[in-house]
Amino acid sequence: MLKLTNVSLGYDGHPDTLHNISIEINKAEMLALIGKNGAGKTTLLRGLTGLLPLRSGKITCNDKDLASLSTRERAQMISVVPQAISLPAGYTVYETISHGRTAYLNWYGKLSETDRKIIDHAVALTGLSALTEKEISTLSGGEQQRVILARALVQNAPIMILDEPTSSLDIHYQVALLQLERGICRKEGIAAIFIIHDLNLAARFADRIAILHNGEIRAVGTPSEVLREDLLSEVYDIPVRVLHDPDEGLIIIPRTGIS
């Protein structure tokens, strides 16, 4: 579905941040992107969403070259759930979610019956039905994150990118959000790439995990293939312990050396 072939990315006046990245993501799949700070996760996200032009290589979505798409067409192809953000005040939850339809609307932003059906569907999926008329700034952080997820959903894009979606949430909402995301991916056939620092959440919710290290993909595979003590210790530069819990699966613990 989404295919990166020999993609290199970098910032003006600097060498490549990411070099020769090739990876494919399939329909209804959840791919977690992990790695140390500065490994290039955000750069890859910027390349995928068109904020940073590719230095070389190609990104295709359903065999369409993303570089050939207009801003509007790209928004119909890839939706983004950004890192914890403050949403513009003065809008209701419904209005905020409806902004996800921008790439389909006319100059005045008039919503059609179809648009409204799609919004209602996303509202129901994210459990926001009771809040649609509330002013956005009155919502809790967890609720706002669900609103952003719903906004991305109504973009009706086959690919969804989530940039540390759980970073500002407590453990209850972290699990709830990723559970919700996984359900949506399966049901709607969306391929999701999510950047995440919490390796336990990655182990639990990702179908596959890609580790970025020194500007390259160091490893990619299922959680049990990738989340190995030797590999994680090397990449994160800290001893790591990986335990196998019969109920919870993999549990990753960084070892501080302090007893």
Partner 1 sequence: MKMKKNKDIIIILLSALATSGLLGMLLGSVPISIQDLTAIIRFRLSGIEIPPNMKSIGTILFMLRIPRTVMMMLTGAALAISGASYQGLFRNPLADPYLIGVSSGAGLGAVIALSFFWKYSRFSAFAVPLFAFIFALAAVFLVFNLGRMGGYLNITGLLLAGVAVNAFTSALSSVWILVSGLELKRSFSWMLGGGGIAGWDRIFVTAPMILIGVAGQIRYAYPLNILQYGEDQALQLGIPVNKVRIRLIIYATLTTAAAIACTGVIGFVGLIVPHLIRIAVGSDYRRMLPLSLLGGAVMLTISDILARVILAPQEIPVGIITAMTGAPFFLWILNRTNQAKV
Residues that bind partner 1 (rule: CB under 8 A) add up to a total of: 29
Contact call for residue 223 and partner 1 (CB under 8 A): no
Whole-number Å distance between alpha carbons of 227 and 219: 10
Contact call for residue 91 and partner 1 (CB under 8 A): yes
Q: Which CB sits closer to partner 1, 73 or 170?
A: 73
Out of 5, 36, 84, 95, the residue judged to bind partner 1 by CB under 8 A:
95
Contact call for residue 14 and partner 1 (CB under 8 A): no
Contact call for residue 105 and partner 1 (CB under 8 A): yes
Least separation in angstroms between CB 67 and partner 1: 14
Contact pattern for partner 1 over residues 237 through 256, marking x by CB under 8 A: --------------------
Q: Where are the alpha helices (DSSP H) in the chain?
A: 41-48, 71-77, 93-98, 113-125, 141-153, 171-188, 199-205, 223-226, 229-236
Out of 33, 59, 80, 169, the residue judged to bind partner 1 by CB under 8 A:
80
Paired strand residues for 218: none
CB environment 197-227: b (16+ within 10 A), e (fewer):
ebbbbbbbbbbbbbbbbebebbbbeebeebb
Count the helix, strand and coil residues of the chain and give each as a percent rounded to the nearest 5. 40, 25, 35
Separation of first and last alpha carbons in the chain: 47
Least separation in angstroms between CB 62 and partner 1: 18
Contact call for residue 156 and partner 1 (CB under 8 A): no
Least separation in angstroms between CB 94 and partner 1: 11
Out of 53, 109, 189, 239, the residue judged to bind partner 1 by CB under 8 A:
109
Contact call for residue 87 and partner 1 (CB under 8 A): yes
Burial zone of 182 (CB within 10 Å; 0-12 exposed, 13-18 middle, 19+ buried)? middle
Whole-number Å distance between alpha carbons of 144 and 86: 9
Contact call for residue 171 and partner 1 (CB under 8 A): no
| Residue 104 DSSP SS3 | helix
Contact call for residue 82 and partner 1 (CB under 8 A): yes
Q: Note the residues at the interface with partner 1 (CB under 8 A).
A: 49-51, 70-72, 74-76, 78-80, 82, 85, 87-91, 95, 99-100, 102-103, 105, 107-109, 155
